A and B are shown apart, each in its own frame.
Chain A
Amino acid sequence: MTKSILLVGVGGQGTILASKILTTGLMEAGYDVKMSEIHGMSQRGGSVSSQVRYGEKVYSPVIEKGAADMVVAFEKMEALRSLDYLKDGGTLVVNNEEIPSQSVVIGEEAYPADVLEEIRRHVDQVKVVDASGMAQKLGNEKAANMVLLGTIIHAMGLEQIHWDAILKDNIKPKFLELNQKAIQMGMGAVRE
């Protein structure tokens, strides 16, 4: 059975690196894997998404609406925006972070205060993770993406994969330990 994970966020949050590590791990574990990204304008503060699908044999690299087993949002508004991708009974992990968009900055519209409430109204399996705060505790806010990767690993039951080895191949030695710790922290965050 093919599993589908949708990672969404804002350009610069590291969704692409997180999905690269995730897909490499899945491949090494023997799964067929496909991933699709839309990142044309990502460096300029737009929404970004990575769609990851794995299983015995994967056909489409694209996740259909209402068919994601798990949505992992690196930002609250992006969680809401992607809600219609989540399948009935699926799990939503959301980083408790708010990034104002251009329209909010210039005063065209306001960032609603009750985004999480709206999400909870519709989804039973919501895990709010303070990934940015946790990464900050580790000394670098940018490692929030690895905290969130940890939540995916735990929620999808992928702990048996040798993540440390995969990190070693994809992360500069200087940041290796930080990223390893961040993944561990993320795995614990959803366990609690």
Chain B
Amino acid sequence: MRQLMTGDEAIARGAYEAGVRHAAAYPGTPSTEILENLSGYQEIETEWAPNEKVALESAIGAAIAGVRSMASMKHVGVNVAADPLFTWAYMGVNAGNVLITADEPGMYSSQNEQDNRNYAKAAKWAMMEPSDSQECLDMVKAAYELSESYDTPVMVRMTTRVCHSKSIVELGERKEAPAKEWEKNPAKYVCLPAIARNLRVKLEERMKELEAYSEKSPFNRAEYGSGKVGVIASGICYFYGKEVFGEEASYLKLGFTHPLPKKMIQDFCSRMDTVYILEENDPYIQEFVERLGVTCKIVGKDTFPPYGEMTPDVIRKRAKGEAFKTIDFDKSKLIARAPAFCAGCPHRGLFYRLGKRKDIMISGDIGCYTLAAGKPFTAMDSTVCMGASFSIGHGAQKAFNQTGSGKRVVAVLGDSTFFHTGINSLINTVYNQSNTVNIILDNRITGMTGHQDNPGTGFNAKGEPTTLIQIEELVRAIGVRHIRVINPNNLEEVDHTLDELLALDEPSVIITRWPCALKKFSQADRNEFTDLFASRNKVLEEKCVGCKKCLKAGCPAMSFDSETKKAVIHQTQCVGCDVCTQICKKDAIVKEG
């Protein structure tokens, strides 16, 4: 059967066909849909892990126990998982194990654009790079065979365009992979120094074997054209290259990219005058080729940018100095359309009030709430990585207290981010005693990545009920003595809770508890939050003075009618959160329904 699939869907399908039985992930664009799709196959046990390290470890455990397993994550997630990543390569698998890393050249939804091929090299994993959805499926299936025959974990490096673009895929059948026997084998699975030293030597031997495989891998192939111009490319860049250089050029398409095929590259280059190396981000292939001392001219990162996406227009311009004719219009007429908090977003009220305080540093984190950094809130002073808000806030508060600046720190992160790595940071704050105010934005779901369940929602990746971990109980167990659970839509409650806790000399936690407006509400949500978005807010035209104060909460359900000079609330969008009602000084906004 033929089907149009995204790369993410095809990865999941490939894992299914390969007989995978265990998969774990933490959501992150552009990798999220892999585990979402895996969850649709009943033969596969799927888990949202609290973070990527835990996800990889869960997959490692399953592979050791004899079941084919997969872990998937975005590029920065691999940083979190880097600890097991390196040592796991020493040990080798029992049943096949594959890690999917979804890199983001261009940073559409990420804080950086690291090239995770460097991880495969540094940690000595086998690596593959698919170019389209069919290859995602084929490579994942081959990766499990390879993993078991060479006793190695395999990394599959995707990029946003491979993950999120659709192409036609030929589907196959699932082939069950019988569970392998687990036997006690400390010499393989217990990385004590004495054992690890042996495994380290074996790892180099395995890399030699994989080098030989790379030369004959069906995923590495030369396609010869008519001239002396060649292209070496991996991933999506292979197709970008075809688009620009056409059928006349020769191609060395590299799909198995760690270790790289030395002889194949030397042979290809010896037949060419000029070779363009097309790869996004780092000169990973280029540096390897240059070390081989080939005699043809190499065109790489001296011509192409090491940052952003290397789309056909970028290649065309840099390699040939050409571009299609484009319309030159008046760009001053463009208005920005940045993403914003949704109507009814429970972050709006909190950040509206938080942004008004001038005497605090707001330590931020990764999630929808990072949008508070922009206008109209400007309520975020730092964002680094998942879970960092509490620990960066702690360090900053310690420094402010030491220098006597009198500045206070408020740190904010979401519920899923708290479970991810925020817990460790909060433990540090309590143990090393700083007086930061730590806010956990508990919107009852992982919002940013499109509503995945987490340990605090009471449901697992398959949507089945599971133990719900109460954030409040957890925070109390860590040793926080001042905990307030508030409704973030109640501005007065937000203000006086902040006043109270900012006056303290010890750590405190605010849990803002209100569900994401886009969430599919559970029965528990409906029981806890009565009349959830059951009403609308409305402007009383006779009372509205047109001061536009209400618009400063940045609600997409609101606009200003320039003819009547009154604020307008669009009833199709408003969900009645009441934030605007409280901002209006003229009592011109009321609740209806």
Is A80 a contact of B552 with CB atoms below 8 Å? Answer: no
- Min CB distance B173 to A, Å, is 21
Indicate whether A80 sits within 8 Å of B161 (C-beta atoms), given known contacts A33-B168, A40-B109.
no
Is A38 a contact of B556 with CB atoms below 8 Å? Answer: no
Residue of B nearest to A38 (CB): B108
- Min CB distance B418 to A, Å, is 21
Is B243 a contact of A111 with CB atoms below 8 Å? Answer: no
Is A64 a contact of B338 with CB atoms below 8 Å? Answer: no
Q: Write 6 A-B pairs (CB below 8 A) sorted by A numbering.
A: A44-B371, A60-B311, A66-B327, A103-B338, A104-B559, A118-B329
What separation, in Å, do the CA atoms of A96 and B89 have in the docked complex?
A: 57
What separation, in Å, do the CA atoms of A23 and B6 have in the docked complex?
A: 12
Stretch of B13-21, B43-51, B195-203, B318-326 contacting A (4+ beta carbons < 8 Å): B318-326
What separation, in Å, do the CA atoms of A110 and B333 have in the docked complex?
A: 9
Residue of B nearest to A109 (CB): B335
| Size bin of chain B's contact surface | 35 or more
Give every chain B residue within 8 A of A171 (Cβ-Cβ): none
Of the residues B108, B167, B324, B335, contact of A33 by C-beta under 8 Å:
B167
Is B2 a contact of A84 with CB atoms below 8 Å? Answer: no
What separation, in Å, do the CA atoms of A65 and B312 have in the docked complex?
A: 9
Give the interface centre of B166, B311, B334 by most chain A CB atoms within 10 Å: B166
- Min CB distance B551 to A, Å, is 5
Give every chain A residue within 8 A of B165 (Cβ-Cβ): 34-37, 61-62
Is B342 a contact of A62 with CB atoms below 8 Å? Answer: no
Is A81 a contact of B312 with CB atoms below 8 Å? Answer: no
Is B4 a contact of A33 with CB atoms below 8 Å? Answer: yes
Is A59 part of the binding interface, using a Cβ–Cβ cutoff of 8 Å? yes
Give every chain A residue within 8 A of B307 (Cβ-Cβ): none
Residues in chain A within 8 A of chain B (CB atoms): 10-11, 23-24, 27, 32-47, 58-62, 64-67, 77-78, 80-81, 83-88, 100-112, 114-115, 118-119, 121-123
Give every chain A residue within 8 A of B323 (Cβ-Cβ): 65-66
What separation, in Å, do the CA atoms of A62 and B323 have in the docked complex?
A: 15
Of the residues A11, A45, A58, A65, contact of B324 by C-beta under 8 Å:
A65
What 1/0 flags go to B326-359 for Cβ under 8 Å of A?
1111100111111111100000000000000000
Give every chain A residue within 8 A of B329 (Cβ-Cβ): 80, 83-84, 118-119, 121-122
Is B558 part of the binding interface, using a Cβ–Cβ cutoff of 8 Å? yes
Of the residues A47, A58, A122, contact of B327 by C-beta under 8 Å:
A122
Is A43 a contact of B164 with CB atoms below 8 Å? Answer: no
Give every chain A residue within 8 A of B242 (Cβ-Cβ): 59-60
Give every chain B residue within 8 A of A60 (Cβ-Cβ): 236, 239-240, 242-243, 311-312
- Min CB distance B282 to A, Å, is 21
What 1/0 flags go to B493-525 for Cβ under 8 Å of A?
000000000000000000000000010000000
Is A64 a contact of B167 with CB atoms below 8 Å? Answer: no
Indicate whether A84 sits within 8 Å of B556 (C-beta atoms), given known contacts A27-B4, A33-B168.
no
- Min CB distance A73 to B, Å, is 12
What separation, in Å, do the CA atoms of A39 and B333 have in the docked complex?
A: 24
Is A62 a contact of B161 with CB atoms below 8 Å? Answer: yes
What separation, in Å, do the CA atoms of A118 and B513 have in the docked complex?
A: 47
Is B341 a contact of A62 with CB atoms below 8 Å? Answer: no
What separation, in Å, do the CA atoms of A64 and B161 have in the docked complex?
A: 14
Of the residues B239, B327, B368, B376, contact of A59 by C-beta under 8 Å:
B239
